Structure 1
Amino acid sequence: MLLRIQQIIYCHKLTIILTKWRNTARHKSKKKEDELILKHELQLKKWKNRLILKRPAAEESNFPERSSSEVFLVDETLKCDISLLPERAILQIFFYLSLKDVIICGQVNHAWMLMTQLNSLWNAIDFSSVKNVIPDKYIVSTLQRWRLNVLRLNFRGCLLRPKTFRSLSPLKQLTVLNLANCVRIGDMGLKQFLDGPASMRIGELNLSNCVRLSDASVMKLSERCPNLNYLSLRNCEHLTAQGIGYIVNIFSLVSIDLSGTDISNEGLNVLSRHKKLKELSVSECYRITDDGIQAFCKSSLILEHLDVSYCSQLSDMIIKALAIYCINLTSLSIAGCPKITDSAMEMLSAKCHYLHILDISGCVLLTDQILEDLQIGCKQLRILKMQYCTNISKKAAQRMSSKVQQQEYNTNDPPRWFGYDREGNPVTELDNITSSKGALELTVKKSTYSSEDQAA
């Protein structure tokens, strides 16, 4: 009994101590906030007084007497000095500006120049927005100055010279690099970057449309990028099965984009040895077949995203393979695959319950039945795209729109570049020529009518 009383007294004592400590901490925190607000108010007051003293007396005589509303607007304007805001708020404002705008802001006055030199502001630099304006000399000097702060770089579409590309090498903190559409980059140029310390921390690398790159660059990536998670080699035409073999050696890789490349079933079989890939894009890869996709799915049980759009040679077999082996699938694009039918999609709906994004645009054999299956099996579906689905009725699409957050739908005929008509039959070159001729005649008629109207 005595021990119990001692425990109660001890707990009560601890409660009193903690209450006092909490009140003291709150008081100190409030006092600190009040001091900070007072400091900003004093700075604002000094700035306004200094501005009033500098205003020449002659300026007032040159203007007529202002109304009370005008005086109020002027006073409100004087209060808006963002240099007096906290650093976090200033950064939030400048993050909305392009690189060109930030440079212009730094030329306003000394206070604005100091704001544009905040280290956090240069964590991400987008040179793509000023690729036709800014010279290479400025790019090099900017990267040299902020080399310890740069985390993300965007050079999309920039025509980089070898000397400029070499300046990326010392960026030790760089984690994201976008070189998409940099058509001048070759194996030697990429090697200069990869030989530097920046390659060791790089996590995302976009090399889309860098058409000069070959297997040598992929080999270098496997040697120098141990932390690479995302890699895009879209439309890198010189990539072969040997290069795919080097990709397998990038053990940290979870996402790969090989769309528009010359990859074949052999390459997919090699890639299936990776075992850790969660995202694969092989859109517009015309050499792969059902067998290649099936072999990859068997070894990629953790696959979450697959894009095989515009591979018109693929059939129901790949959908069945996904339903059997890749039940964790969350995103699937089979747009432009005219051989996919309701029976395969029914199997997918019954197995892949975590599907969030589905693109079936151009799957002309699918009917209203697929929407019923999706409603039953894929209750987590959020985005559904079904453009050019000629056999799905408008009524069924309207019912489905209430089940998803975003939906795209029409029953138009597939465009000619899809390579097939509304029934899934291949479009011959003669059809394309006839179609082009008809469009040309229509254009001529329209232009003729327009000129006659003008003449009238």
Structure 2
Amino acid sequence: QALLCGVIVMHPEDPLIFLEEKIKEIMEKGLDAGLWYMCIDSSLRTNLKRIAETYLSALFGLEDEQLMTTELCTKAFDFYSRNLKKFYFRGWLKYHLLRKNKRKNTDQKMALAEFHYKLQKIRVIIEKWNSWAQINKEKNTLATRRLQQIFNKITLNAVLKAWRTEACSSLKTKAYFESLIKKGQEGSFVSSESLSFQSVKCKASHLPEEALLQIFRYVNLVDLARCAQVSQAWKLLTQNSSIWSDINFSSVKHKVQDKIVVNILRRWRPYVIRLNLRGCHSLHWPSFKSISECKNLQDLNLSECQGLNDDAMRLISEGCPSLLYLNLSYTDITNGTLRLLSRSFPNLQYLSLAHCRKFTDKGLQYLGSGRGCHKLIYLDLSGCIQVSVDGFRNIANGCSRIQNLLINDMPTLTDRCIQALAEKCEQIMSVVFLDSPHLSDTTFRALAECKLVKISIEGNNQITDLSFKLMSKCCPYIRHIHVADCQKITDAGLKMIAPLKYILILNLADCIRIGDGGIKPFVEGSSGATLRELNLTNCVRVTDASVTEIAQRCHNLTYLNLRYCENVTDAGIEALGNMSSLISIDISGTSISDMGLGALGCSGKIKELSISECQNISDTGIQKFCQDTKHLEYCHVSYCPQLTDEAVKALAFHCHRLTSLSIAGCPKMTDLCMGYLAAACRYLHFLDISGCVRLTDKALKSLWKGCKQLHVLKMLYCRNITKQAVLKYTAKLEQREHNDGDPPPWLGYDRNGN
């Protein structure tokens, strides 16, 4: 309005510039101070009457009659009426909205009050219900206790009644067995059996009967027959039925014939529980027939029995319903035997078919069909390269309770085989896959659902750190990890299994990418303090830092193998000398010297020591070690060229419990050292003197006189020991190896030891 009046009155030359200037003035003064004449100069403004005149009449020159017309008055009244209606309508709206908001607030407060009321009501109900439930629970507990007491009384009465019945039955069974024995024995034995052990007890023996029987259980069959000829008392002891519950023909397998087996089994058949015929090649139909007469037989080992076939197994299956353990490895059995197993041995739990090549996938289907071997928990299929994926699927369908699985020496084994087996065998706890190069991380992914406790795999270049990651996530209770010669395992994998709490055995032999970066975090982890066995053979990146960490944290470690760890020196070995738990250690091929070996013997607890191929070891180191170690039983110091007779002297006179000794490749040894061994080491079982070129027949004579317990003797490249002396002095040994050839070049010395 002000701008329009200003343009009309002022008549500016450029209206736009005029309007722009006036707008700026209005913006500076503010809209509240704006009047209709503010854009007109004061000289051009007209004086208006207070009532009659308006600025319109002054601007346009209108008369009073023209201004106050009826139409204008009507319009003015209408305008005033509308404004008044709008004012009252707005007031009414405000009042209505206020009442509506008050009513809404009131409804909200009522709803909240209702909610609180219901909540309080529920709380009271719950408190009353809880009180009632507690009272009812006490009543139920009292009633359960009374019912349990009644049940215990009834059970006790039933047990006592069953015990009386079983006692009566046992007396009858015992009388029956005694009658069988008396019928099968000769008259002379019957008369001696009527004598008691106390009546003929040897005056020289102060041991009770139970102790003597326990000793006789460790004696093989040939020696047991000899013991029966010592005295009448010993004869009675050797004829005690408890000795014949466990018969081991394997220890005298080269002397066993059908007649011997038949006579022994027929005589003691009611008492035989365990029978070992491993490696008895000369057995035929009569022996297998006599096995079927052992009705209480539970454990049968027929491994390497060349005469065993399906017909022989049919004879055995006719009379051994209680069989739990069966070893058929290295035999010629076929699908027919597997069909017999499913029919005749429903309680079978342990089965070994290792290196049996004549059965097929169909035979494994028989194993789980019908009554089947559904209770099988241990299965050995090592070397059965004819088994395919279908065969493993058949095993899974019929024997889903398997817990221990051995599949060694099987290059045809693939991930698909294990996947087929793991689909239904969810109780697998132990798997052994030695020499299975085609397995990968997929195998461990398939076994992730199983509660694995033991994993052994060797000679595999496809297993990676991913398998260790799966173990850490899915196998929290694993105790035994054997991943030898797996080239793709790195320090990162060891870090992944460091949080596992129950690892007792860890074998990383020939994993050449393992170093301090993995060993130290693992030892610092949850299993470091409980670890018992650690094998780091040929882990060339392991240094003294890891060995020191092992010595500080592995307080329960009993076995440690650092063979060919070239970076391990005296500094690390000295730290191991403070480990009181360490019993067995192999540091062959390391850089250890006499100082480190002497420090290692400080604990005095080591029983097994191997320091072969340690070029820096001399007699001084052996002497220092033996001064503190009195319990040494196993010692291999092969290929240590500096050792002489003095080293063997120290071993012989300080370590009287020595049972196994190897000094192969020590050219400075003479007959004198064998004299030391013969004089002091009465329990020596194994001796390797290969490459000791200065030994003569006199050495064998000394061993023959002093080492009566010697079983194995190796004499390769001993050019001064004659074949006549070998035949004369080693005829009774279980195993001997000899040749009088010159030492090979790789030994590092000539035929004279230079």
In the alignment, which residue of structure 1 is the partner of 2:685?
Answer: 356
- Structure with greater Cα Rg: 2
* Alpha-carbon distance in structure 1 between the residues aligned to 2:365 and 2:510: 46
Where 1:407 maps in the other structure, the secondary structure is strand
State the alpha-carbon separation in 2 of the partners of residues 240 and 149 from structure 1: 32
Q: Among 163, 169, 173, which residue is 2:498 paired with? A: 169
Q: 1:76 to 1:92 in 2, by over 3 A?
A: closer
Deviation at 1:92, TM superposition (A): 4.7
1:164 alignment partner, SS class: helix
CA contact (8 A) 1:202 1:227 kept: yes
- 2:373 maps to 85
1:259-408 to 2 correspondences below 5 Å? 259-408=588-737
Q: Name 1:118's counterpart in structure 2.
A: 428
1:202 aligns with 2:531: yes
- Alignment partner, residue 258 of structure 1: 587
Q: Which amino acid aligns with 2:508?
A: L
* Structure 2: distance between partners of 1:224 and 1:20: 58
Q: Which residue of 1 aligns with 2:165?
A: 20
Distance 2:728 2:418 in 1: 54
* Alpha-carbon distance in 2 for matches of 1:195, 1:310: 36
Give the deviation of 1:18 after TM superposition. 5.7
* Aligned partner letter, 2:522: F
Distance 2:463 2:539 in 1: 22
Pair 1:171–1:103, CA change in 2 (3 A): farther
Change (3 A) 1:346 1:119: same
Q: Give the residue type in structure 1 aligned to 2:520.
A: K
- Pairwise CA distance, 1:248: 1.5
Gaps of 5+ in 2: 1-159, 172-295, 297-320, 322-341, 344-359, 382-403, 432-451
1:191: how far off? 1.3
Query: Where does residue 127 of structure 1 map in the other structure?
Result: 457
Aligned partner of residue 127 in structure 1, secondary structure: strand
Gap change, CA 1:77 and 1:157, over 3 Å in 2: closer
Does the Cα contact within 8 Å between 1:91 and 1:120 map onto a contact in 2?
no
TM-score (norm 2): 0.45
Q: CA deviation at 1:300?
A: 0.9
Cα distance between partner residues in 2 of 1:277 and 1:393: 37
Show CA shifts across 1:34-58 (max 9, x none). 9xxxxxxxxx99xxxxxxxxxxxxx
2:659–2:684 Cα contact (<8 Å) kept: yes
Stretch deviating more after TM superposition (92-101 or 252-261)? 92-101
- Does 2:426 align with 1:96? no
Secondary structure in structure 1 of the residue aligned to 2:626: helix
Once the 2 structures are TM-superposed, how far is the Cα of residue 16 of structure 1 from its aligned partner?
Answer: 10
Q: Deviations over 1:174-213 (max 9, x none)?
A: 2211111222122121112112112222111111111111
CA distance in 2, matches of 1:119, 1:378: 44
Shift of the 327–209 alpha-carbon distance from structure 1 to 2, 3 Å rule, reads same
**Structure 1 residues 77 and 155: CA distance shift in structure 2, 3 A:** closer
Kindly tell me: are residues 97 and 140 of structure 1, through their superposed partners in 2, closer, same or farther at Cα, counting changes over 3 Å?
A: same
Match of 1:217 in 2: 546
Residue range with higher mean Cα deviation, 396-405 or 241-250: 396-405
Contact map agreement 1:150 1:171 (CA 8 A) in 2: no
Label 1:91 to 1:149 Cα distance change in 2 as closer, same or farther (>3 A). Answer: farther
**Secondary structure at the residue paired with 1:126?**
strand
Amino acid at match of 1:20: T
How far 1:257 sits from its partner (Å)? 1.1
Task: Specify the code of the residue in structure 1 equivalent to 2:682.
Answer: H
Deviations 1:421-440 (A, max 9, x none): 11212xxxxxxxxxxxxxxx
- Give the partner amino acid of 1:81: G
Q: Are residues 366 and 145 of structure 1, via their aligned partners in 2, closer, same or farther at CA, if it must alter by over 3 Å?
A: same
Q: What's 1:66 paired with? A: none
Identical positions, percent = 42
1:290 deviates by 1.0
Q: State how far apart, in whole Å, the 2-side matches of 1:366 and 1:25 are.
A: 63
Alpha-carbon distance in 1 for matches of 2:649, 2:491: 48
The 8 Å contact of residues 156 and 178 in structure 1, kept in 2 or not, is answered as no
For residue 104 of structure 1, what is the amino acid of its counterpart? R
CA RMSD of aligned residues (A): 3.3
1:381-440 CA distance string (max 9 Å, x none) = 111111100011112223344322121111111011211111212xxxxxxxxxxxxxxx
> For the structure 1 residues 158 and 364, does the alpha-carbon distance in structure 2 shift closer, same or farther, using more than 3 Å as the test?
same
Q: Deviations over 1:83-123 (max 9, x none)?
A: 95244444455633149848433433xx7622265234443
Residue 158 and residue 87 in structure 1: after superposition, are their counterparts in 2 closer, same or farther (change >3 A)? farther
Q: Does the C-alpha gap of structure 1 residues 255 and 151 become closer, same or farther in structure 2, counting only changes over 3 Å?
A: same
In the alignment of these two chains, the number of paired residues is 369
Cα distance in 2, alignment partners of residues 324 and 75 from structure 1: 62
> Match for 2:419 among 101, 104, 107?
107
Q: Identify the residue that residue 158 of structure 1 maps to in structure 2.
A: 487
- Mean CA deviation greater in 93-102 or 156-165: 93-102
Q: Is the 8 A contact 2:638 2:664 kept in 1?
A: yes
CA contact (8 A) 1:177 1:204 kept: yes
Residues 298-355 of structure 1: CA deviation (Å, up to 9, x unaligned): 1111111111111111111111112211111111110011111112211211110000
Deviation at 1:279, TM superposition (A): 1.3
Cα distance in 1 for partners of 2:724, 2:425 equals: 56
Deviation at 1:143, TM superposition (A): 4.8
Name the CA shift for 1:180/1:106 in 2 (closer, same or farther; >3 Å). closer
Q: SS of 1:384's equivalent?
A: strand
Query: Are 1:320 and 1:348, in contact at CA under 8 Å, matched by a contact in 2?
Result: yes
Q: State the alpha-carbon separation in 2 of the partners of residues 388 and 88 from structure 1.
A: 49
- 1:375–1:146: structure 2 CA closer, same or farther, 3 Å change rule? same
Change (3 A) 1:25 1:155: farther
1:236 equivalent in alignment to 2:565: yes
Question: Unpaired segments of 5 or more residues in structure 1?
Answer: 1-14, 35-43, 46-72, 426-456
Structure 1 residues 359, 75: CA separation in 2 closer, same or farther (over 3 Å shift)?
Answer: closer
> 1:159: how far off?
2.7
Higher relative contact order (CA 8 A, sep 6+): 1
